[in-house]
Amino acid sequence: MARYFDVHPRDPQARSIAQVVALLQDDAVIAYPTDSCYALGSRIGNHAGADRIRKIRGLGPDHHFTLVCADFAQLGQFVHVDNRAFRAVKAATPGPYTFILPATKEVPRRLAHPRKKTVGVRIPSHPVVRALLSALGEPILSSTLILPGEETPMTEGWRIKDELDMVLDAIIDDGEECGTEPTTVVDFSDGDPVVARVGAGDPSRFE
């Protein structure tokens, strides 16, 4: 049964954040709100967590996971960013964008795309996520919370608890209904930016 955390959307309680971080460090899988929509998350080193997220979402082995990072410095530890991508990503973050970039050796091989050796990265603006990342000290391995057969993400914490209570370890509810659009995905893996998915972020700056 998942633990349920009610937190303030702009000033999340430090005690609750610390409890969620302790669960993540103990290899939990959580559902949490972001600046685009709800996401599933676990610690990068949680091998079983990645498999659990794939199972919940019904994903195959070629799924692009996203590393949700605290800032650009942390992002740069996990992906190679050339000068062109640096300027574009820096200008668009923090915000509701995911960038596909070549993974560094810091990314476990099992989390990178099996053929392209790329991984998704993003820097969110949501205060709850930023508090989690600050306390955790490392990125959160993440994937949009869209259930198999559905086209839009789940938007409310209490509904997530009803649906996924037995397969999650924790659910964070900030009292606000999350958006229904996942991030806009921009693929830099071949050098030039390609908008792979239009979502919550304005894609025009990359077109």
Per-residue model confidence as pLDDT tens digits over 39-71: 999 999 998 999 999 999 999 877 778 999 999
Token pair listed for 205: 């700056």
pLDDT at 78 over 80: yes
Using one digit for the tens of pLDDT, what is the confidence trace for 130-161? 999 999 999 999 999 999 999 899 999 999 99
pLDDT at 174 over 80: yes
For the chain, give the mean pLDDT: 94
Whole-number pLDDT of residue 62: 74
Look up tokens 């919370």; give the residue: 145
pLDDT at 33 over 90: yes
DSSP string, 127-193: HHHHHHHHHH-SPEEEEE---TT-SS----HHHHHHHHTTT-SEEEE-SSPPPS--PEEEE-TTSS-
Using one digit for the tens of pLDDT, what is the confidence trace for 94-132? 999 999 999 999 999 888 888 889 999 999 999 999 999
Using one digit for the tens of pLDDT, what is the confidence trace for 13-22? 999 999 999 9
Give the C-alpha separation, 172 to 108, whole Å.
27
Whole-number pLDDT of residue 170: 98
- For 110, which DSSP code? G
Whole-number pLDDT of residue 114: 83
In DSSP terms, which residues pair with 20 in a beta bridge?
none
Beta strand 194-197 with 184-187 is antiparallel
Whole-number pLDDT of residue 147: 95
Domains of the chain by start residue, with CATH: 3-206 (3.90.870.10)
